Amino acid sequence: MTGRLRRFADDLYERLLRRELSETPSHVAVIQDGNRRYAKRRGREQTEGYHEGAVTTEALLNWCDELGIEEVTLYAFSTENFERPPDQQEVLFDLITEKLREFADADRVHEAEVRIRAVGDTDRLPERVQEAIDYADRRTAGYDSLHLNVALAYGGRAELLDAAREVAQRVETDDLDPADIDDETVSAALYEGPTRDVDLIVRTGGDERTSNFLPWQANGNEAAVCFCTPYWPEFRKIDFLRAIRTYEHREQTWRRTRARRALTLVRALGHEECAEAKRVLARFRDALPGSERGSADAVADPATDAPEDPAAD
């Protein structure tokens, strides 16, 4: 009886959360933490925690497809994980190999046109893992509906250092003028994989840190971050919807802040000196509370944005 009531309550809450959401992030990055602690708390072998976590990963992909999320990056094996005991590493390598091949052959992956790629210094991985990466890459190479990036042998600092070395080498060989270095130059030198900036980082397991995960793609985009208590195998669709709600609230706050700053600038400096601020204000006007929209409309002056009449000269 208690189980049925819990499921009913969860279903009801899920529907409520879905109704509250008006937009979803394009790119979600997930730090799947807590597999070992989950197993330990239940008196099980650590390997069972990893395998149950893999079930949650499959569910996550279904949720992303259902919600129209275009890209997901999973932190599966960090550079720090190489410091774990060899037997633990082997368990993870076996599981990663198995799941990459299983996903690459799954009907639901091909029906949803999921593109699977690895992100990281994959040359450090065992040969069997590298072969599984190549297999998944080839099997899904033509797809573009949902991008699944699996971060393997990945470290944020290592990625930025490697990118810096590549850019420096191009400068040293006169292939690149230092004056021409910009965001696109650095982005092109990063690991292949992510196709867009990160909008939301989700970390399970209770720790409140991002562990240098995708620093260029996430920090540069001021991504929203949601830290949640459940261990990864316990992570539910409700938890994911709550995380997306965090993203949505952050986006609303960001737009409201931009609109208020633009309104302040236009008031302080006048119409002609603040053409850019006026454009920002017009773009984000609807993010303001109703009580503030009147002020935004009052400072708007369409005449100053009107194109000049060539005949006037």
| pLDDT value at residue 238 | 94
CB distance 233 to 35 below 8 Å: yes
Q: What are phi and psi of 264, to 5 degrees?
A: -65, -40
User: pLDDT tens digits, the chain, 313 residues: what are they?
Assistant: 566 777 777 778 788 887 878 789 999 999 999 999 999 999 999 889 999 999 999 999 999 999 999 999 999 999 999 999 999 999 999 999 999 999 999 999 999 999 999 999 999 999 999 999 999 999 999 999 999 999 999 999 999 999 999 999 999 999 999 999 999 999 999 999 898 999 999 999 999 999 989 999 997 667 899 999 999 999 999 999 999 998 888 776 656 666 666 667 666 666 555 666 666 666 666 666 666 666 666 666 544 444 444 343 3
CA gap 140, 117 in Å, rounded: 9
Catalytic residues: 33, 81
Residue 256: predicted pLDDT: 63
Token reading at 210: 């991002």
114 neighbors 136 (Cβ within 8 angstroms): no
